[in-house]
Amino acid sequence: MGEIKKIRTACRSCHGGCGVIAHVKDGRVIKVEGDPDSPYSHGTLCSKALAITQLAYHPDRIIYPMKKVGDKLSGKWERITWDEALDTIATKFQSIIDEYGPEYIVVGQGTGRDYESHLYRFANQLGTPNVLTAGHMCYVSRVSASLVTCGNLPVVDYNGGPKLIVMWACNPLWTNPDEYRAEWFARVFREGAKLISIDPRRSYYAERADLWLQIRPGTDAAMSMGWHHVIIEEELYEKDFVENYIHGWDAFKERVMKDYSPEKVQEITWVDKDLIRESARMYATTKPAGINWGVPTEQNNNCTDFTRATIGLMAITGNLDAPGGNALFVNPPTRTVAEFSRHRDLSKEVLAKRLGANDFILGARVAFINPKKAWDSIVYGEPYQLKAGLLCGSNPVVTRANGREAYEALKKLGFFVIIDHFMTPTAELADIFLPAGTWLEQNHVADNWKRHGYVFARVKCVEIGEAWQDHKIFLELGKRMGQEWWPTVEDALDYLLEPSGLTFEQFKEKMYLQGENVYYKYKERGFSTPTRKVELYSTFLEKRGRDPLPKYVEVPESPYSTPEVAEKYPYIFNAGLRSPNFFHTAGRMVPWLRELRPDPIAEIHPETAEKHGIKNGQWMYIESPRGRIKMRAKLSDGIDPRVIPAEHGWWFPEIKDPGHGWDISNANLLTDNAYKTCDQNMGSTCLRVCQCNISPCEDK
């Protein structure tokens, strides 16, 4: 029997960073377990991490490059070499650059595998300003709004002893999102921290919370402003902080007191005015307190203003950059993604060619485009027609709003390259498939884009087939196109780590670096904004002719904004219900995970189900003005009878036709991506709220 070697590494089955010990025997990972010495996850792992071997060694995984021969939809895939694949791509891209310009190529990613630094370096040296990410409505959108408000992203300081957690539209026990680990919340809650849950559903947190605010989906910005009203009216804010560190207080205060009384906010959010008052008081008077918010607050037209207003709550109550509050953590001594990616390579003339450059100003500030801009460019040639694209770890026909538009656009794209593990519905539309390594197959400085103050060593455990880690793909393709890269991935990582004085080989021995944990930094140097204060009145937005103050705007499709739509579609479709088993569209071919969740679920109140003749566990249709899907009904009295929460990300790898059932249960066939429905500063799409109707399905 071969010797079992144990390798310490860092997971990336979901948002990443958790410490892992991989057991390797005869060149194969046979199991993984949590690393108890990880300062980030303390030995805990989720179901997605524990199932990584089933994903990595799945028989359907693509482990060599391929090209499509024949028609875009009916053509056959043929195995090729890496040299042929990269030469084909480089030649095609260069010909487009020579004939049209680099902006005619779009480069994109999904919720990535920690390759952001390398993808952007490739795109920036390519010369294209058109980078397509999930960031317009996931994480980067809150980062961008945070940067113009207080200069950094506030993160709950779970290790600083919070006495209260506001769990706002977030479920870390299932998702471990971005900077947060489930274990952190569980620990402080077990130690006695109070809990306020703001959630349309009676979730795990709502059932255990001191207060549960059952909010109408999409109205979070109004709730934040309502809390401000109570705190201001009852003078529960820290007057010294407001006087010295808030820009625009008088104007902000005037808007809050005029437009956001608890009575008005009750009408908007469906939360009782007395509960609004009680929860605002509890947050303002329990010190320290942290607000842990999630992506539902970003995935609507109030994304920017919710973030700005909620940072204001942290600030005026003394919880910003404070122990146990929302800290502004200091990065460890490594090069940033922006520095590595050569973020400043693109000239003003090139940036002006970015699709939608003048529309969504905060999105453009962090270098991405709204997806519909790409689809309209491909289909209608507005303002010019994209000729080629490269997408890495992305499945937009299932993950982006109005998925049918994404499908039609990618079907029409002249030359399309995909980097992924499996043949997804999006990958089936590509011309070239490049096989990516899983996190078991890569070396990297993990989490180097997050703002929790850590980076971790992700250590390569095995090689599987001919798959390359994403970083190597961008490095080798870039070199073929004459770009400046390093000889190897590890050389590039040495550059990333250079400020720390470590090479990657040395970093692997340490396993992590942490930035210096300093609180109240603003007392020495202010905040990283033009006024050096928390800008509740945004100078950035003011200079660009936008409303500088936060506000709530009614969601574009609702019983109030579109009553004519609500007549036919009377229910609120709340897409994005999370499952602990899947990371967006990934993992549905993994036996362990699919056994836990074999079918897509939509929740429905028993009263609503009875009205429509729908039984628990029965398939039902859900329809919006944009399409119809089917999901299994799960009866729950923990939701409002007017709301239908539903899982997202569903396709069916077991269906072997080229579409893999992408249009059967895909929640994003129902969501809208029209420009007028987006956050007008960020471009965030309303994934979480639109109108729908339901009916029983003949499939029992």
Same domain? 509 vs 538: no
Q: What is the CATH number of the domain that holds 211?
A: 3.40.228.10
Residue pair 652/664 in contact by the 8 Å Cβ criterion: yes
Angle at 149 between CA 147 and CA 153, to 5 degrees: 45
Same domain? 606 vs 508: no
Residue pair 322/641 in contact by the 8 Å Cβ criterion: no
Query: Would 14 be classed as within a structural domain?
Result: no
d(CA 18, CA 175): 12
| Residue 699 confidence class, pLDDT cut points 50, 70, 90 | low
Query: Would 441 be classed as within a structural domain?
Result: yes
User: pTM of the entire structure?
Assistant: 0.96
Same domain? 303 vs 176: yes
Same domain? 505 vs 363: yes
d(CA 562, CA 566): 6
Give the model's pLDDT for residue 136: 87
Same domain? 350 vs 258: no
Place of tokens 């990065």: 331
Name the packing angle between helices 470-480 and 82-99 (round to 10°): 60
Query: Would 312 be classed as within a structural domain?
Result: yes
- What beta strand segments (E) does 408-510 contain? 415-420, 432-435, 444-446, 454-458
Give the model's pLDDT for residue 368: 84
For 208-252, what is each residue's pLDDT tens digit? 999 999 999 999 999 999 999 999 999 999 999 999 999 999 999
Query: Would 638 be classed as within a structural domain?
Result: yes
Kind plus residue range of the DSSP H or E element containing 478: helix 470-480
Same domain? 322 vs 180: yes
- Residue 571 sits in which domain range? 563-696
d(CA 314, CA 525): 19
Q: Is the pLDDT of residue 2 over 80?
A: no
For 479-503, what is each residue's pLDDT tens digit? 999 999 999 999 999 999 999 999 9
Q: What is the dihedral of CA 459, 120, 345, 152, to 10 degrees?
A: -80
For 503-529, what is each residue's pLDDT tens digit? 999 999 999 999 999 999 999 999 999
Q: Is the pLDDT of residue 109 over 90?
A: yes
Q: Is the pLDDT of residue 88 over 60?
A: yes
Same domain? 624 vs 671: yes
Kind plus residue range of the DSSP H or E element containing 535: strand 534-535
The mean predicted confidence, pLDDT, of the chain is 96
Instruction: Compute how many other C-beta atoms are within 10 angstroms of the C-beta atom of residue 190.
Output: 8
* SS3 assignment, position 673: coil
Instruction: Select the more confidently predicted residue: 96 or 343.
Output: 96
| Residue 1 confidence class, pLDDT cut points 50, 70, 90 | low
| Residue 112 confidence class, pLDDT cut points 50, 70, 90 | confident
Same domain? 163 vs 132: no
Same domain? 483 vs 626: no
Q: Is the pLDDT of residue 700 over 60?
A: no
Angle at 466 between CA 465 and CA 468, to 5 degrees: 120
| Residue 74 confidence class, pLDDT cut points 50, 70, 90 | confident
